Structure 1
């Protein structure tokens, strides 16, 4: 057997092992969602349930206090959709300004924007809460959605780097044809940066769907909870936690994210692979 073939077999074995390691937690969660709550940790080593309990999904979907998981999923879709639209639209506009326009203090504001990428959420959490509390917006979706309508630094940087790969000759030709900056942005730049925009959109959907800290801080009414926060209601320190139903709803919460990744994964590769290249 040649050395190249041995190396290829070794790579395949290594990739298979890494795949099993990464997928095992998900497989364990799906398996636990089909077990009785009392046997989840007793029979934790087995991925094959002894007694299949499909009722975990039916009973778990009924939710708590008359609030079913259809309400929690609806709340998540509202938050994710509006926040994603805001972050993508305004991040694209800001990225176009940094990449193509000249204005006073451009370097300074770009440095300020990049500096915010290094700030952890814990630093801005308290002042941001004070600000929204002063505005009377606690227990609403505004604190969770509104900040993304001012652009998201990572998305601005991602899309801006992609815009820089577009030749400026296209802009100059459009100017000669009588186009203004808005027309160039909407008819030339936006269609050409679609891979980067789709990549940012997918990341935004992932992050907003998984967001736990934001809803935990700002929402007090359980009827407004998203799925990420509703799953916490299964854990009751004063009572017995129904692990089977909790894992069942956790598995259900992965379905939208899995579908998004399945259909749009090529945009992630295309967007990231071309970002950072300059023409």
Structure 2
């Protein structure tokens, strides 16, 4: 009886601790959502208050109207164009490169793999200036090409994740497919890709998150407001020379989180499955 009591107390304590940390982590999001319904003058009067004294639903209408005739419909369209194309490109190219590292023998494979892994350690600030000079030489500034085209050459983290997943697949399947007349590319598309769906979905979710939240790259390469994604458009609300409409800014910030939340709850099982299985080796 004493053992059961201690076990019950331990479980209650664990739930209280986890619940406390959950509230601490969610508080900024809840505060932002509550502030999206406040008057701009009310947002920082009582900074700790979550719920507004008077609910202002028009913040969402005012925020969606955007700036200088450019609505958030345009900004969301730009964001989805960048995110979807770059995600498709990064996933397919990373899977193809991972298949090459995992299954195809070639000279210097270990060296190229080490070089690929080393690129994961390079911070963006280190490659930012050389990339800008190169893309400016190509004439790609103020276009989506610097944001999209590099993803078609593979993402090191995705390559490593997918490659570890491919290694769990028995090579006998490749040999059987080759006996049936499949070439190397057919084995990749017909055998490997269907079996690594969890890793592909995990990579796609991460790619969607990273591209959706990316602020620095659009800030560097895009100059025309009509081409801005949502992450960069939110910055336009903050004007040091004018009065900032905080309510509208928080309203659009709250809406910008909606696609990420929806994607997470729909595909969260793939994240767990893809990461947990990628560490196994058959």
Q: TM-score if structure 1 supplies the norm length? A: 0.99
Question: Corresponding residue for 2:122?
Answer: 119
Q: Secondary structure in 2 aligned to 1:2?
A: helix
Distance 1:238 1:175 in 2: 67
Question: Corresponding residue for 2:6?
Answer: 3
Output one character per residue of 1:160-181: Cα deviation in whole Å (capped at 9) or x when no partner: 0000011111111112222111
Q: Secondary structure in 2 aligned to 1:88?
A: helix
Give unpaired runs (5+ residues) of structure 1. none
Q: Does residue 177 of structure 2 align to residue 177 of structure 1?
A: no
Please list, as runs of the form range in 1=range in 2, the aligned pairs for 1:67-78 lying within 5 A after superposition.
Answer: 67-78=70-81
Distance 1:134 1:48 in 2: 51
Distance 1:43 1:191 in 2: 54
Q: 1:251 aligns with which of 246, 250, 254?
A: 254
Question: Corresponding residue for 1:98?
Answer: 101
Higher mean Cα deviation, 25-34 or 171-180? 171-180
Distance 1:5 1:176 in 2: 59
Distance 2:48 2:106 in 1: 61
Q: 1:42 aligns with which of 39, 42, 45?
A: 45
Distance 2:51 2:238 in 1: 24
Distance 2:232 2:181 in 1: 51
Question: Corresponding residue for 1:229?
Answer: 232
Question: Corresponding residue for 1:191?
Answer: 194
Distance 2:84 2:168 in 1: 29
Structure 1 residue ranges, 4+ long, deviating more than 4 angstroms after superposition = none
1:262 shift after superposition: 1.1
Question: Corresponding residue for 1:80?
Answer: 83
Question: Corresponding residue for 1:242?
Answer: 245
Distance 2:18 2:53 in 1: 30
1:47 shift after superposition: 1.1
1:2 shift after superposition: 2.1
Q: Secondary structure in 1 aligned to 2:280?
A: coil
1:7 shift after superposition: 1.1
Q: Does residue 67 of structure 2 align to residue 30 of structure 1?
A: no
Please list, as runs of the form range in 1=range in 2, the aligned pairs for 1:194-213 lying within 5 A after superposition.
Answer: 194-213=197-216
The CA RMSD measured in Å over matched residues stands at 0.7
Question: Corresponding residue for 1:18?
Answer: 21
Q: Secondary structure in 1 aligned to 2:240?
A: coil
Distance 2:81 2:180 in 1: 41
Distance 2:48 2:211 in 1: 32
Higher mean Cα deviation, 178-187 or 26-35? 178-187
Distance 2:181 2:147 in 1: 41
Q: Secondary structure in 1 aligned to 2:175?
A: helix
Distance 2:51 2:235 in 1: 26
Give unpaired runs (5+ residues) of structure 2. none
Distance 2:76 2:172 in 1: 46
Please list, as runs of the form range in 1=range in 2, the aligned pairs for 1:130-141 lying within 5 A after superposition.
Answer: 130-141=133-144
Question: Corresponding residue for 1:266?
Answer: 269
